[in-house]
Structure 1
Amino acid sequence: MKLAHVFERLVGHELGIKVTAYDGSSAGPDDAQYGLHLKNPRATTYLVTAPGDLGLARAYVSGDLEMTGGHPGDPYGMLQALAADLKFTKPSPLELVGVAREIGVEHFKPIAPPPQESLPKWRRMAEGLRHSRERDAEAIHYHYDVSNRFYELVLGESMTYTCAVYPHEGATLEEAQENKYRLIFDKLRLQPGDKLLDIGCGWGGMVRYAARRGVHALGVTLSLEQAQWAQKAIADEGLSEFAEVRHSDYRDVPETGFDAVSSIGLTEHIGVANYPKYFTFMRDKVKPGGMILNHCITRPENKHRSKAGPFIDRYVFPDGELTGSGTIIAKMQDVPRLEVIHEENFRIHYAMTLRDWNANLVKNWDEAVAEVGEGTARLWGLYMAGCRIGFERNIVQLHHALATRLHLDQEQTLPLRPWWVP
């Protein structure tokens, strides 16, 4: 049996994509729009030692597996075809023996993964317990300290690595990111002279948006590169009187008495077991009557495991955890004197955001490759296009949960209806 047919056998049913291999074999329809090409024996070893998305990612990021019919900066169309076709099932021992006989047992000996891959969970123990300060810092460093210039090429002028909110389907990415900050600012009822704490602030987009409107904004991030970039942007815009971004764990912020706290894309890194302390921290930082907004990726239900799958855990968000919006709201409601008043789902907006990030990567592909190397650029194209499909197919969602800190007598003095709706 030839290699392409072994691949087809592992998938478990007839393919709608074209698969070719270095031994000259092929499988699938000849007129398929998209295809996979196994370039060398290392690709085969990656695929058989880690069947599923992890093995495919290893082979693709290393350059040993090529996707045909698309651009490596945006393999969305190819991944759509893959998502429809690839239904990896765990082969039985007998099937594995048959595969080994066909391709050689040498392919079943694990080899080193690409350098872009994070350590497996059990080896990260050397960096501390899951969601300890040390291990959280290392996870953030892995994902966010890639290269500020690379992020500029992908994210665009807003330098914002969170879901945008599109005011209409024809809006640009920059318009949508500005609209996202406008929406959060309005939901938090911020006014000139108020104080805002933005935890997990990234490159300071929310901090700078608020500062331009006379709000004293403090942002904190575990990424040193983000903090340095943000502080320079604050100085360049003449916002130092109102804005500051610190390289710090949010748990080390000593100030209190904020009018509002925003968390935009941090909850994914917190760990579900830490939600009670996380939301209590936010409540304790705001004044009675103050506002809290939590913006994060969620699952569409609350039943299944929260930990990420192998590809996301090894290549994108080490130690990342997702859960349903119901779980998040329940944990917020369990904090005394914290009242959830509104929630909103932006699932389709994140698919559109990822579409535009992929388009930026394609447009700036040569410079991106020169900045971080082809393997890392391919990884980001793969990751963003795959996540776009996840949001489109309701595998993941993006939710805002808006809450207020009640007064001691449980009094709430907010307007009767949403005040941020034009």
Structure 2
Amino acid sequence: MTIGDVVTKLIGDDAPFSVTAYDGSVGGNPDAPYGVHIENERGIRYLISHPGELGLARAYVSGDLTLSGVDLGDPYDFLNLFWSGFEPKTPPLREIPAMLSAVGLGALRPPPPPPQEAPSQWRRAVEGLRHSRKRDSEAIQHHYDVSNEFYEMVLGDSMTYTCACYPHEDATLEEAQFHKYDLVCKKLGLEPGMRLLDIGCGWGGMVRHAVEHYGVTALGVTLSREQASWGQQKIKELGLDDRAEVRYSDYRDVTETGFDALSSIGLTEHIGVRNYPSYFQFGMSRLRDGGRMLNHSITRPDNKAPSLTKGGFIDRYVFPDGEITGVGTIVGAMQDEGFEIRHVEDLREHYARTCRAWCKNLSANWDACVAEAGEPTAKIWGLYLAGSSLSFTTNRIQLHQVLGVKVPASGDASYPLRPTFGV
């Protein structure tokens, strides 16, 4: 029995892809449009030692498993095959000894993970509790400090790494990001002279938009040095540094108070569900009476599933220590800390489009992205963005904006009888 024979027993000869192995054997469907190539024994060892997405990711990122017929910057169609009902077969027990003999007993020995992989949860625990300041800082830097040049190629001119909001079917990514920021500004009721705090501000897109188009004074904070440096430089180039700041800081270290509005766009995923109370307490403490908070974050379709996904591709390669839960949990936590909830909106389909647009940017700039960040990192991003787009499309994950108001004892929420923003 060859490795190709083993593969055929596992996936069948009608699979949507073929498989070739380093021993020269072939398995799967030779007429399929996609090909999977196992380059060496280490690739087999990755696949056997961690069956499923983590083993596949390790082999792919390390170059021990390669693909043909697949756009590496935008593998959406290829990944969709696995999400459309394809499942490996379970071989009879009597055939397992022969299959193990074909791949070799050495294949049972797990190799070290690729250097791009974050440590396991228990190894991270040695460095401190989950969502401690140290671990939060390390997690953010793992993902966001890849390279500003890399992000410019993937995200586009807006340098906005959060869900866009498409105003119409034919809107471009840049139009949709502008519309998203504008929608947030309108939900917050921003007016000239107001003060805005944007926590988890990224490269400062929300800060710049609010200052340029709504005449506010804005402070943004981020745990990424790369983001803060880029964002502050951009502010200076635009001549906004008298009213705008992007600060390298943990949001918990912001001492200023009395803000008219607080935006949190894509931060909640990083803080941990157990920290929601202190997170929204912070929001309440930094707002004036009648001030509004807009929380924009990825969510789950329900409030029952575990918020933390341990040991999978996203946890190890994309967002270490990331946690997401249902919008009901977020709404409940905001209410428990005193916010009156005024509006909730799901932008799930918009995030599917946004991730797809980022994939297309990655694909169009593939060679330059590989040169800037390395092929393993570029591969990780292709998998991550395409998989995320599929997850939003199929309602495995969602994106919610929740608008809350800090209401004083008088009950005057400083809120109009009907919303003044378009959705």
TM-score above 0.5, yes or no: yes
Q: Which residue is 1:294 aligned to?
A: 295
Aligned positions of 1:321-400 closer than 5 A: 321-336=323-338, 338-400=339-401
| Aligned 8 A contact 1:34 1:81 in 2 | no
Aligned positions of 1:207-246 closer than 5 A: 207-212=207-212, 213-246=214-247
| Aligned 8 A contact 1:127 1:138 in 2 | no
Structure 1: how far apart are the matches of 2:316 and 2:185? 34
Q: 2:314 aligned to 312, 323, 345, which one? A: 312
Structure 2: how far apart are the matches of 1:355 and 1:244? 31
Q: Which residue is 2:105 aligned to?
A: 105
Structure 2: how far apart are the matches of 1:364 and 1:238? 30
User: Could you report, residue by residue, the CA deviation over 1:242-265 in whole angstroms, capped at 9, with x for unpaired residues?
Assistant: 100111000000001000000000
Aligned positions of 1:266-285 closer than 5 A: 266-285=267-286
Structure 2 unmatched runs, 5+: none
Shift of 1:11: 5.6
Shift of 1:10: 4.8
Amino acid at match of 1:270: I
User: Could you report, residue by residue, the CA deviation over 1:208-236 in whole angstroms, capped at 9, with x for unpaired residues?
Assistant: 11111311000000001100000000000
Amino acid at match of 2:358: W
Shift of 1:29: 2.5
Shift of 1:113: 1.2
User: Could you report, residue by residue, the CA deviation over 1:86-131 in whole angstroms, capped at 9, with x for unpaired residues?
Assistant: 5469999987655433311101111111111111111112321100
Q: Which residue is 1:79 aligned to?
A: 79
- 1:144 to 1:96, Cα distance in 2 relative to 1, 3 A: farther
* TM-score (ref. length: structure 1): 0.95
Structure 1 unmatched runs, 5+: none
Structure 2: how far apart are the matches of 1:50 and 1:90? 16
Runs of 4+, deviation exceeding 4 Å: 8-14, 88-98
Amino acid at match of 2:283: M
| Aligned 8 A contact 1:150 1:372 in 2 | yes
User: Could you report, residue by residue, the CA deviation over 1:251-283 in whole angstroms, capped at 9, with x for unpaired residues?
Assistant: 000001000000000000010011011111111
Aligned positions of 1:188-199 closer than 5 A: 188-199=188-199
Amino acid at match of 1:324: G
Provide the alpha-carbon RMSD of the alignment. Answer: 1.9
Shift of 1:27: 2.7
| Aligned 8 A contact 2:15 2:32 in 1 | no
- 1:406 to 1:85, Cα distance in 2 relative to 1, 3 A: same
- 1:13 to 1:134, Cα distance in 2 relative to 1, 3 A: farther
Structure 2: how far apart are the matches of 1:92 and 1:316? 36
User: Could you report, residue by residue, the CA deviation over 1:68-100 in whole angstroms, capped at 9, with x for unpaired residues?
Assistant: 222111111111113335546999998765543
Shift of 1:36: 1.5
| Aligned 8 A contact 1:17 1:85 in 2 | no
* TM-score (ref. length: structure 2): 0.95
Shift of 1:21: 1.8
- Count of aligned pairs between the two proteins: 421
Aligned positions of 1:4-19 closer than 5 A: 4-10=4-10, 15-19=15-19
Shift of 1:307: 0.8
User: Could you report, residue by residue, the CA deviation over 1:186-221 in whole angstroms, capped at 9, with x for unpaired residues?
Assistant: 000000100000000000000011111311000000
